[in-house]
Amino acid sequence: MADNSMPLLLGGAIPGIDEAPIQVDLNSVDDLFGDADHLSLPPRPPSRRLRRRLDELRSRGCCQGLAWSKGGTVASITPDGQSLELRYLRAKPDDASWELSEPKLIAPWPTHLNGGPILHLSWGPANSELAAIDAVGRVLLMSFNNDLNRPMVSRRWDTDPVDDSHTIVGTYWLNQLPANTRFHPTYSPAVKSPKGADYTFENSGVPAMGPNHPNPSKSAFICVTTNGLLKMFWSQNSHKSEETTLELESATSADDLITHAAACSDKTRSIYIAMATTSKQLRVVQVAIAFNASKPENSQNAPQAAPVLTPSFGKRHVAVTSWFQTGMCASPLDASMFKISHVEMLPAVFDFQSKQWSPIVVVTVRSFMPEANSPYNQEVQSIIDRWELLTDQKQTVHPAFERSGARRNSAGSAPPATARLKMLESIVVNKIVLGVNVLSFGKVISFYYNDGAVDYRDRFTMQELYRSANLDRIHSILEAGFSQSGEAACLQMAFSPSNCSLVQMYEGSQIRWHNLSYTLEDQATISDNHMSAVIASCAMSTAAAIIHNSNFDDILAVARKFPRRDQIAVKWVTDLVQIMRITVDYSEDLPHDHLIRNQQLQLCFSIFNHLGWNGEYNARHFRSRLFTLALSLRNVVILITLASSAPSAVRAASSPLDEPEVVNALAGCARWSIDFLGWLCSALIGLLDDAKFMSFLPPANQPQQLVNMTKYLHSKNEIALHLILCSSTRNLISAVCRRIGLLDSYASRALAWYSGRGDVSEASSPRHAALHAAYRKVHRYTSSAYIKADEFEKFIAVLAADIRTAYGTSLGPLAEREAQKVAKNPPTPNQNSNAPKPQDRIKEARQHSELNMLLVHPPPPSFLPVITKLFRQDLTNFRTKIDVPKLYFADYRILEIVDTPEALANRKKAGKRVDMLRRVEISRPGEFPWRQCSRCGNAMEEITSTHHKPGMIFLLAQQRTCCCGGRLAILP
C-alpha cells in the first residue's frame, strides 16, 4: 500500500469478497476544490500565560524575572514574586559533566513586602551586583562577591517611598572603567590560514565610552521612573551606598507618564535616555554625570583616605517624535499595534576606516496578538521600529526672510544646530518578540521569541547574522557550526556572560539550561578542519570573557561534548597564548610576584585542569594531574604571602599571624607543601631507578630520545620531570620552598617568645594557648620534613641555571644573526620605536620553547644534556642527603594526586576531601557547610563566624574564587 493512500473499509477486504479495497490518494483531495496549496492546521492560539506576559511587557519597561550575571549566577523571581531563586552552572563531582544546579531560595527582606511583589532583576557589570525592584520602584542591591548563591545586601529599600509614581520603567548600569581607559580590546574575527586549518586572530579595540564610576571596581545603577525622575544608586569608595536624583520630565497629566525607557553611554562621556510615553511620544534626553571627587575632611590626619564623591547632573532635551507612525510599515497589522513592549538604545559605533561615528539608534518593538475568542485565523506578529538620532543638524533660514530689509542690513548669526530622530525601515517578524539584547558594543542586536528561537541582526542593515557556518572568517562561535535556541512555550530568557548558552523560563515557571548544539557533523567523528574551527571559536570567546572578567564555564561545557579533550585543551591554550600574548617564559631569574599575578596563565592551567578531570573519584589525564598541582602550589603561595604581608589596615586591628585560626591554616599549607616536595623527590628518584627511562639519556646527543622519553612518561602518567623542566611550574615550586622557610622562621621566633613566658595554659589564656599550639604544629611539620625546603630550592636553582645556559648556547647563533642584520641595516631616527629588536627575537624563541613544555610536548634538543646531568649527577648527589625508603612509604593522600585504582577506591570509601584553604581532610556532614568550586569540584569548609578576628576575615575575603579561577557556591 502506498504511504499516501488510505484504504476504505478499515483497510481490509470484506470476508467472502476477494476484491482489493478501494484506494484514495490524499494528495489529490485538495484538487477537488481547486486549491493549489495543501491543507494545513491553523496555528495554535497564544496561551493565556503568553498573553499575560505580553501585557506585562506593554504595561511597564521593567519586568525581567530571569537574569544571568557576569560571575555566573542565574537569578529568577518566584511565581508569587515574594522571593528569589539562585542557580549556577556546575560540573557534577561524580563525572564532571555540566548541569544547572538546584535552586536556592533567598528572601533578604521582611516577610511582608510593602511595595508589592518583586518584578525586575538587573545585574551590574562589576562585583556581580544584583538590583531587585518591586512593584512601586523600591530598589534593593545585593553583592555576590564571595559566593555564587549567597548574597550580601549592600543597599536596603526601607527608606524608598511606597508610591506608584516612582514605578521604575527603565534601568541602566554605567560601564565599568576598563584597565585601558581608552579602548576595550577585541579578538575577532578568527581568520583561517589559506594553507591549513590553523587560525589567526585580528586584534583591535573599541573606544571606551563613559561616564564611569571613578573606582574601576564599581559601577552605578540608574533608574527612570514613570513620573520622569532619574535615580542613580552608587557607592562611595568607603562602600557606603548613596542616591542622587534628577528630574528628566515633569509629568503633569496621565499622558506625560513614561511607560518604557532605555539608555546608552556616549563618546561625550554622558548618557542618552530614550523614553516612551502614554501619549505615544518618543523623547530623547542627554544627561551628563560628573562624580566630582574631593579630598575628605581632616585629610592631613589620613593621607591615604579615599576621595569623597559628590555626583552632579546636567541634562539637555535632544529630540522628540511619535513612536506610533502608521503607514510607514508594509504590514497590514501596523495600525493594530498601538502598544509598545520594548525600547532599546544602540550606542554610537566608531568606524576605524572612515574615522566616523555612526549615530545612536533607538529600537522599539510592537507586537500583535489576536483576541482570545477571535473567529479569524490571524497569526501573531511583531514590528521592530528604528530611529537614528541625528545630531548637529544645521538650520537654514527661508530666503524670503533673508531678502527682508531688516535682515539684509544686519550680519545676524547662524541658527543653533538641532537634533532629530529619523525613522528607518521597520522589520516585520511573524513571532512575538519577548526580549532584546545589545551585543558586541552595539554592533549586534539579538531578539528572542515566544517559540524559543533566537536571532542576531546587524545594527546597520538588520540582516540576520550567524545563520550558517563560516569557517573561513569566524566572528562568533555560532559561525563555527553551532546553533542556539530554546524550546517552545517560552516566556523569558537569559543569556550567559559569554553568550554561549541560555536559560529559559517556560509557561509553567520551570527553568532549564540550553547549551550550544553542534550541527555540522557528528561530534564523535568530527573532522580535523571542523575541530580546528571549534577550538578557534572557543579560544576567541574565552579571550573576550577573560578581558571582561566574565565567567566562561559554559564554553568549557561546550568543549566537553567533543572527543579528544586533551588535544582540544592543547590547541585551545595555544590559541589563547597567541591571542592575548600571555607570558609563559619564566626562565629568567625574576621575582615570583610576576608569575603569581599572571591570572591569564592561571586560567590556561584551569582549562587543562578541567578538561582532563573525570570526577573526584576517577583518574585524571596526564596534563590535568600536572596543572591541578600547579594551581594548588600557586594558591598556597598566595595564602602564605597574604598572611605574612597583610595590609596595614588589617595589621592595625589584628595581625593574621597572631590569630590561631590563621596559623592553623598555614600549618596545613606547610604540611601539604612538604608532602608535595616528598612526593616530587620520590617520583624523580623512581625515574632514576627506572632502567628504561635512563636508557633515553645516552652519553651522545640524540634529540630523538627526548621524543621517546616524553611518550614513555605519558604512558606512565608521570609528571614529575615536566614539573621541574617547565619554567612556570618550576618557579612555583621555588616560591613554595621559600614560603616553607618563611613559616619555619615565624614558628621558631614564636616558640622562642613563648619559651620565655613559661607555661601557657588553656585556663589562663586560651587564645595564647591555641596560638602556641598552632605554631608548634608548624614547627613540627617543618622540622620533621623528609625533604628540606632550602636544600631542594638549591637543587632546582642549579637546574634553572643549567637551563638558562642551554638557552644561551642554543639561541646564540640566532642572536648573532640578528646582530648582523642590525649592523648591516642600522635603525634610522624616524624608524618605528616598536619595531622588533634582536633581543625580542631571543625572547620569542624562548617563549616558544617554554610554551611547548607547558603543553607537555618534548623539550627542545638543547635540554638533553641538561636532563642527562640532572639525573646522572645532580639528582644522584641529592639522593645521598635524603632517606629514600621513608619517601617511598610516606602517605601522600593529602595531595589527592595518587590515582591508582586502589587509592581512588580507598578515597571514595572514606568519603573525605582536602580543604582547599586549610589543607586538612574534611567530610560531610561536618561541623560547617561546604563551599565547592563550580568548575573543578574543590571544596572548603565555610568557617566564617562572628568570633573570627580581622586577620582570618581578611584571608577568607581573598578566597573568593577557587585556585582554578572558578567561582564557589554554598552546598545545601
Q: Give the pLDDT confidence of 798-820 residue by residue, as tens digits.
A: 999 999 999 988 887 876 776 77
Do residues 629 and 897 touch, judged by C-beta distance below 8 A? yes
Q: What is the mean pLDDT of residues 668-679?
A: 96
The CA-CA-CA angle for residues 841, 843, 849, to 5°, reads 105
Q: pLDDT band for position 3 (50/70/90)? A: very low
Q: 309 or 766: whose pLDDT is higher?
A: 309
CA distance 54 to 607: 42
Q: pLDDT band for position 7 (50/70/90)? A: very low
pLDDT (tens digit per residue) in 376-389: 667 899 999 999 99
Q: What is the pLDDT of residue 13?
A: 44
Q: What is the pTM of this model?
A: 0.90
> What SS3 state is found at 746?
helix
Q: 132 or 44: whose pLDDT is higher?
A: 132
Nearest Cα neighbor of 269 from 344, 187, 213 is: 213
CA distance 500 to 596: 30
Nearest Cα neighbor of 917 from 928, 906, 908, 907 is: 928
Q: What is the pLDDT of residue 48?
A: 92
Distant-in-sequence contacts of 745-748, Cβ < 8 A, 24+ apart: 746/644, 746/657, 746/775, 746/778, 747/775, 747/776, 747/778, 747/779, 747/782, 748/779
> What is the DSSP track for 15-26?
TT--SPPPEEEG
pLDDT (tens digit per residue) in 586-624: 998 888 889 999 999 999 999 999 999 999 999 999 999
Q: Which residues contact 952 (CB under 8 A, 6 or more apart)?
A: 656, 659, 661, 662, 943
Task: Identify the DSSP state of 465.
Answer: E
CA distance 763 to 840: 65
Q: What is the pLDDT of residue 363?
A: 97
How big is the chain by its Cα radius of gyration, in Å?
A: 33
Average pLDDT, the chain: 88
Residue 27 has pLDDT above 80, yes or no: no
Question: What are the two backbone dihedrals, phi and then psi, of residue 947, each rounded to the nearest 5 degrees?
Answer: -85, -5
> What is the DSSP track for 50-61?
HHHHHHHHHH-S
User: How distant is the alpha carbon of residue 563 from its chain centre?
Assistant: 24
Q: What is the pLDDT of residue 2?
A: 45
Nearest Cα neighbor of 463 from 517, 384, 388, 365 is: 384
Q: pLDDT band for position 763 (50/70/90)? A: low
Q: pLDDT band for position 972 (50/70/90)? A: confident
Q: What is the pLDDT of residue 474?
A: 96
Q: What is the pLDDT of residue 335?
A: 75
Q: What is the pLDDT of residue 303?
A: 45
Helices 565-580 and 553-560: crossing angle in degrees, nearest 10, is 140
CA distance 631 to 963: 6
Q: What is the pLDDT of residue 765?
A: 76
Q: pLDDT band for position 10 (50/70/90)? A: very low
User: How distant is the alpha carbon of residue 512 from its chain centre?
Assistant: 20
Residue 274 has pLDDT above 60, yes or no: yes
Residue 357 has pLDDT above 70, yes or no: yes
The CA-CA-CA angle for residues 243, 247, 252, to 5°, reads 135
Residue with cell 528630574: 247
Task: Name the percent of the chain lying above pLDDT 70.
Answer: 88
C-alpha cell at 328: 510607514
Nearest Cα neighbor of 269 from 218, 335, 209 is: 209
Residue 139 has pLDDT above 90, yes or no: yes
Question: What are the two backbone dihedrals, phi and then psi, of residue 558, each rounded to the nearest 5 degrees?
Answer: -65, -45
CA dihedral (401, 406, 411, 416) in degrees, to 10, reads: -40
Dihedral of alpha carbons 667, 670, 674, 675, sign: positive
Residue 12 has pLDDT above 60, yes or no: no
Q: What is the pLDDT of residue 132?
A: 97
Q: What is the mean pLDDT of residues 36-40?
A: 53
Q: pLDDT band for position 831 (50/70/90)? A: low
CA distance 633 to 641: 12
Residue 317 has pLDDT above 80, yes or no: yes
Do residues 477 and 367 touch, judged by C-beta distance below 8 A? no
Q: pLDDT band for position 825 (50/70/90)? A: confident
Q: Which residues of 237-273 are buried (b: 16+ CB within 10 A; e: fewer)?
A: beeeeeebebebbebeeeebbbbbbbbbbbeeebbbb
Dihedral of alpha carbons 656, 657, 662, 668, sign: positive
Residue 489 has pLDDT above 80, yes or no: yes
Q: What is the pLDDT of residue 20?
A: 47
Residue 327 has pLDDT above 80, yes or no: no
> What SS3 state is found at 62?
coil
Q: What is the mean pLDDT of residues 560-587?
A: 94
> What SS3 state is found at 276?
strand
Question: What are the two backbone dihedrals, phi and then psi, of residue 369, each rounded to the nearest 5 degrees?
Answer: -135, 125
Pairing of strands 340-346, 360-368: antiparallel
Most confident of 246-255, 298-307, 538-547, 691-700: 538-547
pLDDT (tens digit per residue) in 857-884: 999 999 999 999 999 999 999 999 899 9
Most confident of 40-44, 299-303, 515-519, 585-589: 515-519
- Residue 349 has a CB neighbour count (10 Å cut-off) of 19
Q: pLDDT band for position 411 (50/70/90)? A: low
C-alpha cell at 760: 601557657
